[in-house]
Amino acid sequence: MIGLKQKLLFQSRQASTDISYDHKTIQEVFLHTIYQGLGTKHAGLRQRLRPLISTSQVTDEEILRQVMKIISDENEHQRRLGQPPRQKATQAHSAKVETGDGNNNDKSQDTASDNKKLQTIQ
């Protein structure tokens, strides 16, 4: 982006050019493009750059210096936080057992046994 800005400035200074842009206009369009070009992924960078690029007197070097500082700060912040531990997905399956003998006492014993197994797994 800075290279394109420099080409426009150079071409505007040439006498043989039909189109001439004012330095202030080029700078304002450049700053607007930088600000608008930062998407939602870089919202933090965009917020922190806003005060700097709100003035048309800022130099390209100041913008680059600030961007590098912000990125460095964010990288250090992420490094210090570390990657959050990933939680494993836990699945539980149950099955209903029906017996034809009609003995309810066996069913309740099976259920109690299953509950004990489930508690030891947790």
Helix count and strand count (H, E) for the chain: 5, 0
Q: How many whole angstroms separate alpha carbon 2 and alpha carbon 88?
A: 46
Question: Are 36 and 46 a contacting pair, CB within 8 Å?
Answer: no
**b or e along 39-55 (b: 16 or more beta carbons within 10 Å of the residue's beta carbon)?**
eeebeeebebbeebbee
Lowest mean pLDDT among 10-19, 65-74, 98-107: 98-107
Candidate ranges 4-8, 57-61, 114-118; pick with highest mean pLDDT: 57-61
Residue pLDDT, tens place only, 48-87:
888 888 888 888 889 889 889 988 988 888 888 876 556 6
Query: So where are the chain's domains?
Result: 2-81
Question: With a threshold of 0.85, does the pTM exceed it?
Answer: no
What value does the mean pLDDT take over residues 98-106?
Answer: 57
What value does the mean pLDDT take over residues 28-36?
Answer: 83
